[in-house]
Structure 1
């Protein structure tokens, strides 16, 4: 059987994402493009003291994969040019025509495009009133449910990718899976609305699978307490299948993009 270069080939650094808060490198691996985040390049976070951000990225992928939702690109832990780190398959994105909004975007107040939902109103850098909007897209709605399960503290607009393959992907899950409520997201447009039965069926199977092999794999990446909290969030969604309303003083990450 041929070995997958994603997992085995030497990584060659070809670029760096300079806007990322932690070291984020773009690499080639025998013709395959990947994102590589070395553990050595992580900034310590006082409220995420356990494990590594790379481990949380892989754990988040395992959750998405176990649900069968395919929302997070394949993500593994492996060695690289700067030591062990997270390696994730690169996603080619759709280039939107000029004037067409992205999955998450800004628009002038009162000019929300058809098929989009308003999240909030604010002033842009020039002092003009704008609306934060996101697509009313079932693929993105599924991501909003995933973020509730993951307790995602950092769903920025730029972390939702419109893939050239017709799928929507979420990236940057280094600060997920905390035991305390930390949900911060730009995807509040469905807050208070029911979660679809199809997704609830997937969550039911997921919760049942947690005590088995899935839980064992997660235990290599996050704490047992965090796994218990993940199960609690899953059961809470099944008991009250509604997307939550924003809580606290900072329900949206900053910056939002």
Structure 2
């Protein structure tokens, strides 16, 4: 018999710690539900993101994903845990036989994949950073543009057995200044598809209603204004933008 689990109030039992991780990150269970737990108390201060609110940004990313309707981010919420208030997210079991982002020999991008950049591996061999050309990753790339994701590494894309792709680790999002750093640059300059434009419009409309109210408890007013402006720019020019500014366009390391 399955017991109903209260994800907010039932005990959160820690079963391990994810190493390495920039901030304290634990795995645990709430009843029968496997989760990831990132306590605010374990967040490491960052020079370009305010201290102590990375967990709130992760929850804001889930709210954005839900409004888009694309299931980019696994169920994520705030609650008390063994080390205080923190972000809790449902654990996702990936398919180890799949890769959505990869490194291949330079010039060897296979059909159905997009080339991002060329470089050298640890043995100074020419390699190419690539990602699959799929609707799921396109939507994740649009999500990252709207969220101003500063840390979309290859390891932050989870390939599921049903071909769905989840995005995780969204603490470095929603900055008021341009911070987009991602491995998903393969559609640079391409027009957004109708369903992607519709998703951006849903977000823009919801910012004047329920989404705006939810984000008001998670982000600053300046950050919400910047989010609104990013939606407006995408709707005026519905294309995947090019990198700009002084920040690196790809996070380091990319995986």
TM-score of the superposed pair, with normalisation by structure 1: 0.94
Q: Specify which of 159, 162, 166 is matched with residue 169 of structure 1.
A: 166
Alignment of 1:202-217 (within 5 A): 202-217=199-214
Q: How far 1:216 sits from its partner (Å)?
A: 1.2
Q: Specify which of 84, 87, 109 is matched with residue 112 of structure 1.
A: 109
Q: How far 1:8 sits from its partner (Å)?
A: 2.9
Q: How far 1:4 sits from its partner (Å)?
A: 3.4
Q: Secondary structure at the match of 1:6?
A: coil
What residue is the counterpart of 1:15 in the other structure? 16
Q: Specify which of 226, 231, 235 is matched with residue 228 of structure 2.
A: 231
Q: How far 1:190 sits from its partner (Å)?
A: 0.4
Q: Secondary structure at the match of 1:7?
A: coil
What residue is the counterpart of 1:256 in the other structure? 254
Output the CA distance in 2 between the equivalents of 1:234 and 1:51.
26
Q: How far 1:51 sits from its partner (Å)?
A: 5.5
Q: How far 1:151 sits from its partner (Å)?
A: 0.3
What residue is the counterpart of 2:47 in the other structure? 46
Q: Specify which of 193, 196, 200 is matched with residue 199 of structure 1.
A: 196
TM-score of the superposed pair, with normalisation by structure 2: 0.95
Q: Secondary structure at the match of 1:8?
A: coil
Over the residues paired in the alignment, what is the CA RMSD in angstroms?
1.4
Q: How far 1:45 sits from its partner (Å)?
A: 1.4
What residue is the counterpart of 2:144 in the other structure? 147
Unaligned runs of 5+ in 1: none
Q: How far 1:50 sits from its partner (Å)?
A: 6.2
Unaligned runs of 5+ in 2: none
Alpha-carbon distance change, 166 to 8 in structure 1, aligned in 2, over 3 angstroms: farther
Output the CA distance in 2 between the equivalents of 1:24 and 1:146.
24
Q: How far 1:3 sits from its partner (Å)?
A: 5.0
